[in-house]
Each structure stands twice: as structure tokens, then as C-alpha cells.
Amino acid sequence: MFHVPALPQEANAPGKHYEWQLSDGQQWLMINNDHIIECNYCQPGAKGITIDTDHGSLRIDFDDMTISGPFANLAVRRLSFMPENQTEDIGWYYRDNSHWCEYGVRGSSLSSQDIEQRYNGNPTGFFQFTFGSYTYKLDFSGMTQTNLSTYKQRKMRRRPKFNSIVYVNHSLNTSQQSTSTINQFPSATASANPSTRVTWEFMGDEGVWTEYQKPDSSLDSIDIERQYLRNPQGQLAFRAGRYSYCLYFNAGADMYQINNTYKTKRAIRRIEANESNSSSLCQACWQFKDMDGHWKDFVKGSGRGRCTISSQEIEALYQQNTSGVVPYSSGRFNYQLDLTAMTQTNLSTGTKRQVRRV
């Protein structure tokens, strides 16, 4: 029996629009570090995840939303907290002979948004669509796609896209593996002095992420984190050498700093890791070899040269499955990252590039 009070909705962390909870039959309890579960759940190829808790290991089945193992009597759920003018960006996928493919990516006449609209109208229904010379039936109850000519049936999955929301018809992308434990949501005091180690970094001249540290900067990671927790939408002025700068948090989406003299703009990022286990997840960096021959970090955001997944999120997935496949997008293109072959593939052009973990 767990003795942790249920999480009140208003305690949801700033900028976080989801929450995973477990129930012991009497109350729903939060799962600390549930971004690990979310990061895996958002990958269409993930069947489930095993998490370590204070009460033993639990296996969560993402398709059935059930718990297996010694604590199969527990229940699991995922909550979503969205303002009225926002909604989650949902992806719909079908299983081809070897991979999970998103509808609309490979020329399908039907997009994820089309299917989601139908699903919201009748989550237990079905409908038909035509692509090429074939007609297909999508069954939401069985989560299957059936070719009505050949009767070939394929599995379907509905998954949110990691930390991605739709706001007034535009996508905003917001931006880790450690041990998940059942715990009480931290109080405001605990949040102001977090037990997790948070690192703030900026993109340096050589394309290397560099931590804010004193005395080179008037602020360090602790100073920046305190201000960020007070106002995730705010700004923060600081000095480094003979120049003054301003940090723009933007609630985690497309964060950057501006040099007040030259107006130079640099990307910044926030990395969170448990102090008791700040291992390879913090240190490992994922990079791709760009067309200019230089290695570049996977940087999450909506700006030029950014994509829908970060180096830390790739590392979390790699820790779960070193031979997995990770879908993501950048600009108008969709890609597939093969963790075994260490390549990324542009699904539109077929172009492959090398990927490395450093």
C-alpha cells in the first residue's frame, strides 16, 4: 500500500502538459521523473517500459495501459493538462513490414490530423479511405488498418509527439533516463532548491554546448534555474566579460541569449538529471554529420537547424533500447534515426547521414 497523497492538478510543473500516475486502488499517485515514460511512450515503436520504483519493478504496457509483474493489481493512466486554446500534437502510425510509419509522411492521402479528428468524433468507431487503387478501413476499437481488397491487416498506434503542442493551428515544440519512483510532488520550497541537478548551457563558437559558470559569467546554472522557476516565460540579464546579455526562457521553447551590443543570438538549453545518478545521460551527446562535413548536435526547437528531438531524449531512448529506431522531424522533412546502424535517413529523399554518440 502506498501512503503518498494524490497529486493535485494545480501542482503540475511549469510548461509540462502531461502526467503519468499509478493507482493502488484507493488513490492516484504521481510518478517522479515521468518524462522518461513520456519520452518512450511518444515513440510509436515502443510497446512499453519497465520502471524501477520504491516498491519494485513495474512493466507498463502502452497499448493496453496495464501493469504487469508482481504489482499487476495496480492501474496506470496518463493525464493531459492543456489550456483551452491548446491541444497535443498527436501522431497516428501504422506498422509496415519493418517500421512504424506516420500517416501522411509517405504520400498517404490521410494525415495524423485527419485521423485524430475522426477519432475524437467517435473513439470506438471506424471509417474508410482510399489511397491509390485500394480502399482501407481504420478500426479504432481494434486499432487496425485493413486493406479491403487483400484483407491484409496492419496494427495502428496513436501516440502524442514528445512535449509538442498545437497552439492556434501552429506547432510549438518545447524542451532525459533516470530511475522513476513513486513520490509526492515537491513543494514550492523544494522546487526553488531542486534536488535534481539542473545545468544551463549555451551554444559556443565551436558548436559545443558550454555551461554557464562563474567567474566567466555573472550567473551560473543555479542562479538561472532559480529565476526560471519563478517565471518560465521571463527574461534574465547577465554579464560575461565586457559584454551584457539577456536570456529568453520562453517556457522552454526555442530558448536563446542575445548579446546586447552586437545582437548575436545563441541557443541555450536546460538539462535536468538526478544528482544521485548523473551518469551517461548527462554526458553523452548525439550528433549527425551535416552536408558541410561537420558534426552537429541534435538541438530541439522550432528554429533553423533544429528538430523535434534533443540529444538528451535520444540518449534516454538509447538507454532503453540500443537497437531501436527513433522518428523525428526537422523543418518540412521527416527522419528516421537508426540506433544500430548509427544513421539518420530523410524519409522523403532517402538521404542517409552518419550519426554518432560522444
Contacts of 345-349 with C-beta under 8 Å, sequence gap 24+, read 347/105, 347/106
DSSP state of 275: G
User: Residues 129-142: pLDDT tens digits?
Assistant: 998 889 999 999 99
Other CB atoms within 10 A of residue 115 CB: 22
Highest average pLDDT, of 91-95, 215-219, 223-227, 279-283, comes from 91-95
Please check the confidence at residue 14 and state whether its pLDDT lies above 70: no
Q: DSSP 3-state assignment of 315?
A: helix
Please check the confidence at residue 168 and state whether its pLDDT lies above 80: no
Q: Does 123 sit behind a cis peptide bond, omega within 30 degrees of 0 on the bond before it?
A: no
User: Residues 24-66: pLDDT tens digits?
Assistant: 888 888 888 788 788 788 888 888 888 877 767 888 999 999 9
CATH 3.30.720.50 fits 86-163, yes or no: yes
Which residue is listed with cell 500517416? 103
Does this chain's domain 186-275 share its CATH topology with 279-358? yes
Q: What is the identity of the amino acid at 137?
A: K
**Secondary element (H or E) of residue 117:** helix 112-121
Query: Residue 167's pLDDT band (boundaries 50, 70, 90)?
Result: very low
Please check the confidence at residue 165 and state whether its pLDDT lies above 90: no
**The predicted structure's pLDDT at residue 174:** 36
Smallest Cα–Cα separation from 268: which of 314, 217, 319?
217
**The predicted structure's pLDDT at residue 247:** 92
Query: Residue 232's pLDDT band (boundaries 50, 70, 90)?
Result: confident
**The predicted structure's pLDDT at residue 128:** 94
**The predicted structure's pLDDT at residue 206:** 55
Fold for domain 279-358? 3.30.720
Q: Which CATH number fits domain 186-275: 3.20.20.70, 3.40.50.700, 3.40.50.1980, 3.30.720.50?
A: 3.30.720.50
CA gap 326, 161 in Å, rounded: 12
Please check the confidence at residue 2 and state whether its pLDDT lies above 60: no
CA gap 179, 279 in Å, rounded: 12
Query: Residue 343's pLDDT band (boundaries 50, 70, 90)?
Result: very high
Q: What would be the CATH architecture of the domain defined by 9-83?
A: 2-Layer Sandwich (3.30)
Domain segments of the chain as ranges? 9-83, 86-163, 186-275, 279-358
Query: Residue 197's pLDDT band (boundaries 50, 70, 90)?
Result: low
176-190, 242-256, 284-298, 309-323: the lowest-pLDDT one: 176-190
